[in-house]
Structures are given as structure tokens and as C-alpha cells.
Amino acid sequence: MRANFNLRNACSIVFLVAGCLGLLLPLAGRADQAAFHYAPPSATKLANPYSDQASAAAAGRTLYSANCASCHGANTEGTGNIPALAHGAVQKAADGEVFWFITSGAVNNGMPSWAALPEQQRWQIVTYLKTLVDAPVANAAPAAVSTTAITAPPPPAPFTDFRYEAPGNVRKITVNDLPAPFATSSAGNAATIVPRPADAWPKAPDGFKVGLYAEGLATPRVIRVAPNGDVFVAESSAGRIHVFRGMTADGKPQRSEIFASGLTRPYGIAFYPNGANPQWVYVGDTDAVVRFPYRNGDLKATGAAEHIVDLPHGSGHWTRDLRFSRDGKILFVAVGSRSNVDDPDTTPAEKNRADILAYDPDGSHLRVYASGIRNPSGLAIDPDNGQLWCTVNERDGLGDNLVPDYITSVREGGFYGWPWWYLGAHQDPRHSGKHPELKDQAIVPDVLLQPHNASLQIAFYDGKKFPKEYQGDLFASEHGSWNKSVRVGYEVIRVPRHQTGKASGEYQDFVTGFVLPNGQVWGRPVGITTAADGSLLVTDDGSNSIWRIDYVGK
């Protein structure tokens, strides 16, 4: 049985492409890993011949811009699920360990060996990186906006890319549509984020209007609505929870306050107990679940964070979403993998990762609710029947059209394949011959999405503003690809359920327009929720905004 195996995941800052250093891939908890990326003891003894030399750091910055910025950001701020380089694993590692990893790479996890780069240049990059924690670099100039549209051939149906995304387009992918692994090469195409041009605006179906609810935020991610209608938003890079109240005639918040700060990359938000009068706000930090005392109407936490439980953490997927079961007895916590392909059997740091974990509300009674889910970044509870659903980032590195991300109802005790299998009985060739007994246990998810589109959050529409046919449907945010030759995602989608309570496999493009014709990106949807007035609110950590989608009639 699946329960006899400790099937845990590994780090997916495999969101690192072949042109990128990917230095934050590992270090998932030093208790299990004594050295940076398993560097040998000899690496720690390597002396950096350019340590503290300003000229070497300057040269390293130029090399970083040429080789690493497309993934880690022009100012090492990180992009998508790739952490910033000014803090964390790189800064804790010895110079020699970082040099060793740049030289050796980790090909299966998307990090190439840079042994061909002259030794001097590798050391210069290390020297530059080590200046960041004490002397952050100045902001780079915004990327220039090209006017040249992408002219690559269209992808084979049912796969698509951003050029063909438009509100109302219906799509359906099945396991019969899957290509063979490596049918195309594995692309490295990280997004270049640019300021929103004056004439750019999200596009929605006829009858819907998109407005700008809030802007100027610090990496807004999960967004949840309190029972009294206040809107709570995790500003992950600032380590705080923002709260908005009310709405003006032009669709803006009437009040804005910081509910809590001093957190560690907060993501998930949940109110407890369920119902009209919660007593606590639970927050999923990357390394723990904490909670704050709460009464309806609180705009600021009235007490300090109370630690509930430590979570597996380190490198890889850092997001930790939270939901309570409908009866309030189970706290679900989503913990993404630490890698793209690492075998949990041989990687101790993968314990309890790539799982949906379950706890009692006080943090006791840990159990694995479902496993083999590479990154269950978003959780939702069906308000009609209490069924748990999740949206998942699947693995990279197998080509443009493998492996589809997905949205699925979650079976208790279910195994969803990672890393040995995918979408049922399809074996990852990088693990050929491993765990044949799990072939028939790997569950095929309900809705297959475009591969590599980084599906992050889902929400059931339970408002009354949209037309009746939208009631009970799922909406999801697609943050956008890096591992596809022509980018895909960067949109909000709708999963119609036709008032059946089930998904039949199809989905629709709902809100699009976040990518320019040249492939540059100005917006990246993340969090999504139904507001008290029946509109949808969507966070966007590309433009650091919140969008409001309202139905105004055709």
C-alpha cells in the first residue's frame, strides 16, 4: 500500500533555467543536510581568492546579469517561486560551497554545471553574491519594452500559449493527449517583468468589468475574506498581513491597515473556527503555522503570533496554504516539494513534502492526508459538501507539453504520482523502473491544465453577483510558465461544473492580457477569492496590485 512508503518531495526551485545559477535550490533544513547542496567537506576549505575585493564583486555583478538575472531577478529579488539571493541558503553557505555548486550543478533539478566558465569568473560571482546581505544593489532600470511580436509556430492542440488565450475560450486536455517525454527540449524562458504599459489592461468576458482595487503592495499572494467582509492579503516579501475594509463608489477600499507583521514569507490565511464569529486568524509561514487572536472587525492583531506547529521548510517551494475542514476538526496544510525530480527514498530532506498534511487545530496529530503532489500551492473547500480541492504545479524538464498542471478534488490517502509517476500510469523516465507497485495507485486528476503554467490558487464562486451558471464554479490563477518555449498561463481561468458539483475536465480562459505581444509580462495572477459584494478579487505579484472582476451585465 502507498501508506507503507515515505513518499516525500523535493525542492522545485528547479524553477531555475539552463541560463541561471539556481543557487537557492537546496538547503532544505540543515538538520538533514550538513552542507550546501551536499557539497563535500573539501568544498568548505576552498578559499575565495577574491573575497571582499570590490573590483571582483563588480565583475561578478556583470556576470550575474548575463547568466542569472532571468531567474533570480535583476536585483536578486527572486521571481515566482525562486527566493531572493540576499538572504537564506547562499548567505549561510561557505564561499567554497557556493563555488563548488556553481561548478558542479544539479542537472536533474534544472541547474547546469558552469565548469566551462573560467574559474576566476565563478569566484567573482561568489564574491558578488556575498556582498548582497550587507550592501543590496540599487534598483535596476526597467526593462525596455520591445515592439516585436513573437512569431513562433502555434503549439499542437490541445496545448496553447499566451497568444491564443482569450476570455471564453474552452480547453480540455486528457491523458490521451500527452506527448512522450522529451518530445521537445526543455526550455528556459523565465518571464521578464515590465511596468504595465498605459494601454494594457486585463481582459474579461462580455458583461464583466475589471477594475484596479489596490496597488503598491509588496508581493501580494493569498487573499481571503473574513466573515464580516474584510479582505486579508498576505504580502509575502514584506512579511505581513494587510487588511482592507469596505468599498468606495469607484471600487477602492475605504480603509487599509497592516494586521500583523514580522512574519516569514506568509502565504496561507484561514479563519477559525468556521462560521460567523472566528476567534483566530491562522497564517501559513514558510516554516510554521502561527495564529493571531481575532474578533470580527479587528484591523490590527490584538496579540502576538502564537506558534502552532513547525513545518517542513528550506529550499524549493516555499508556499504554505491553509484550510480548515468544513466541520473545523482538521487543519489542512499544503507543503510543496523541495525539488523537481529528487527521489524521496534517498533524500531525507523530502520528508513530509509534496504532501497535503493534516493536523488538529492545535497543531497536534500530524498525518499525511494525500501525497505525491509536487506543489499543492492552493487549497479550497467546496462549500456545498466539504470536499477538499487543490491546484498543483507539476514537474518540469520533460518538454514543452509535459507535465500538465492540474486542479483536482483530493482523496484522503490518495497518491498523485510525484516523483515516480505522473497523471496515472505514466512513469517519469528519470525514475525508470522505480516503484512499479505504485503504477496503478497514481490518481488521474480531475482537470488537466497547460503544462508549466504554475497554477497557484483556487476559489469556489459562492457570490450572487455573477450569472446563475457561475454558481459553484471554480476559478483559478495561473501565475505563468518558465519551462516552455513560448510562455503560457498569466491568466485567470474558470472551471465550470454545470451545477453538478463535479468537474468534467474542461476549463475556460476567463481573464487574460497580462502578457505583451513580445512575450514580456506585466502581471502575474496569484490569489483569488469571492468578495462580500459578489465580485472576484485577484492578487497580482507582477504589478503588485489587486484586481476586481465585477459583473455589470451584457
Give the chain's domains with CATH numbers.
165-266+374-551 (2.120.10)
User: Across the chain, what does the average pLDDT equal?
Assistant: 88
CA gap 549, 535 in Å, rounded? 6
pLDDT at 496: 98
Banded model confidence at residue 139, pLDDT cuts 50, 70, 90? very low
- Please compute the mean of the pLDDT values over residues 368-386 and round it to a whole number: 97
CA gap 48, 202 in Å, rounded? 49
- Please compute the mean of the pLDDT values over residues 344-372 and round it to a whole number: 96
Neighbouring CB atoms inside 10 A of 436's CB total: 11
Q: Write the pLDDT tens digit of every residue in 467-520.
A: 999 999 999 999 999 899 999 999 999 999 999 999 999 999 999 999 999 999
CA gap 389, 403 in Å, rounded? 19
| Start-to-end CA span in the chain (Å) | 53
pLDDT at 62: 79
Banded model confidence at residue 69, pLDDT cuts 50, 70, 90? low
% of the chain with per-residue pLDDT over 90 = 71
Q: Write the pLDDT tens digit of every residue in 285-315.
A: 999 999 999 999 999 999 999 999 999 998 8
Q: At what angle do helices 54-67 and 119-129 cross, to 10 degrees?
A: 100
pLDDT of residue 161 exceeding 90: yes
pLDDT at 192: 86
Query: Grid coordinates representing 17?
Result: 533555467
% of the chain with per-residue pLDDT over 70 = 86
Banded model confidence at residue 186, pLDDT cuts 50, 70, 90? very high
- The string of DSSP letters for 399-450 reads -TT-SEEEEEE--TT-B--TTTEETTTEE-GGGTTS-GGGTTTBPPPSEEEE
- Please compute the mean of the pLDDT values over residues 338-363 and round it to a whole number: 94
CA gap 172, 489 in Å, rounded? 15
Residue 314, Cβ density class (10 Å: 0-12 exposed, 13-18 middle, ≥19 buried) = buried
- How is the beta sheet containing 208-215 ordered, strand by strand? 208-215, 545-551, 536-540, 525-530
Max Cα distance, the chain (Å)? 69
User: Range with the lowest mean pLDDT among 76-80, 97-101, 407-411, 545-549?
Assistant: 76-80
Banded model confidence at residue 6, pLDDT cuts 50, 70, 90? very low
Map residue 550 onto helix, strand or coil. strand
- Please compute the mean of the pLDDT values over residues 151-167 and round it to a whole number: 97
Query: Grid coordinates representing 299?
Result: 484591523
Contacts (Cβ under 8 Å, ≥6 apart) of 505: 172, 173, 174, 446, 447, 448
pLDDT at 112: 67
Strands 525-530 and 506-511: unpaired
Q: Write the pLDDT tens digit of every residue in 18-65.
A: 344 445 444 333 333 457 777 899 888 899 999 988 888 888 887 887
Query: Grid coordinates representing 472?
Result: 459553484
The helix (run of H) or strand (run of E) holding residue 57 is helix 54-67
Q: For the stretch 167-191, what's the b/e string if a residue is b when 16 or more beta carbons lie within 10 angstroms of its beta carbon?
A: beeebebeeeebeebeeeebbbbbb
